[in-house]
Chain A
Amino acid sequence: AQSVTQPDIHITVSEGASLELRCNYSYGATPYLFWYVQSPGQGLQLLLKYFSGDTLVQGIKGFEAEFKRSQSSFNLRKPSVHWSDAAEYFCAVGFGNDMRFGAGTRLTVKP
Chain B
Amino acid sequence: NAGVTQTPKFQVLKTGQSMTLQCAQDMNHNSMYWYRQDPGMGLRLIYYSASEGTTDKGEVPNGYNVSRLNKREFSLRLESAAPSQTSVYFCASSGRTGGWNSPLHFGNGTRLTVT
Contacts and interface: CB of A to CB of B under 8 A. Distances in A.
Same assembly: yes
Contacts of A42: 108-109
> What bracket does the count of chain B residues touching chain A fall in?
20 to 34
A99 B104 contact: yes
Interface string A1-31: 0001000010000000000000000000000
Contacts of B108: 41-43
Nearest to B108: A43
Interface of A is mostly: strand
Interface of B is mostly: loop
Contacts of B112: none
A63 interface: no
Contacts of B103: 34, 46, 49
A103 B40 contact: yes
Contact of A101 (B42, B56, B58, B101): B42
A51 interface: yes
B99 interface: yes
B90 A43 contact: yes
Interface stretch (A69-77, A78-86, A90-98): A90-98
Interface of A: 4, 9, 32, 34, 36, 41-46, 49, 51, 90, 94, 97-99, 101-104
